Structure 1
């Protein structure tokens, strides 16, 4: 083999190696950027007898905003619709009317944002206990969401063990 051929082959190998390293680094940077903006929604059941309130609270504990793509509400295991005012009218009785916060498709839950999906306030501990037991055993709210990049299909639900 001539020296020029060896040099050309070595240069080609070095160039291909550099191309592979650049591609790998770019891919790793894209994965890192997605993970650095990943939202993590949590739904918490809250009952505070001292403050006289009970409900479901949604928290974004992640590093990026969560964009809601869908919501599903189950009452006694039956799907009754998306989490909105119409479902509130179906699920709750006027005597125990809670405050609610709807998360419609396209709504954003910002980083660190905490809000009640359902909140019931009462000075009567028995009414508060009945309301909490009812939402704890009968109401399930499931939120589908994604990051600003989209397409991840994250899901969080109020249906979790104690």
Structure 2
């Protein structure tokens, strides 16, 4: 082996090493970019102690938008459909008072920082609206399936009834 062969072989090894480092760095950057726009949906029941509102709130606490892929509503242990107008009407028909509703349809996009009630009363009174709290705390279960803008993962936010 002469000096030219050793120099050429060393250059090939260094080039392959640089290529390997570049591939690893590119993959790490892709993972970081996905995580930096990951949505995080949360469902929670809210009863304002210092204010008049009460309801079921959805919040995107993540850094990126959430794309809704599916929503499943269970009432009294029985699946009744997605959180759309028809399903919500079947829940609210016959209630003493109509609560305010926001539906979640497939393909809806909830931006980072989004927060809104899915169902709520503006002027909640504990005695007068006990039926409403019973509905959202003991009878209603909602599962929201969603993805990030990359679209190849499936996340789930759910809220279940309190135990009796």
What residue is the counterpart of 1:128 in the other structure? 129
Q: What CA distance in whole angstroms lies between the structure 2 residues aligned with 1:85 and 1:127?
A: 26
Whether the 8 Å contact between 1:54 and 1:128 is mirrored in structure 2 is no
Map 1:1-162 to 2 at 5 A: 1-92=1-92, 93-122=94-123, 124-159=125-160
- Partner SS state of residue 135, structure 1: helix
- 4+ aligned runs moved over 6 Å, structure 1: none
Query: How far off is 1:12 after superposition?
Result: 1.1
Paired positions, count = 162
- Structure 2 residues not aligned, in runs of 5+: none
TM-score normalised per structure 1: 0.91
> Counterparts of 1:145 and 1:123 in 2: how far apart (Å)?
30
CA distance in 2, matches of 1:106, 1:55: 24
Q: 2: CA distance between counterparts of 1:108 and 1:94? A: 30
Kept after mapping to 1: 8 A contact 2:70/2:146 = yes
Q: Which structure has more helix as a fraction of its residues?
A: 1
- Which whole-Å CA distance do the structure 2 matches of 1:118 and 1:54 have between them? 9
C-alpha RMSD of matched pairs (Å): 1.8
Task: Determine helix, strand or coil for the equivalent of 2:127.
Answer: helix
Give the superposition deviation at 1:138: 1.0
Measured in 1, the distance between the counterparts of 2:44 and 2:128 equals 20
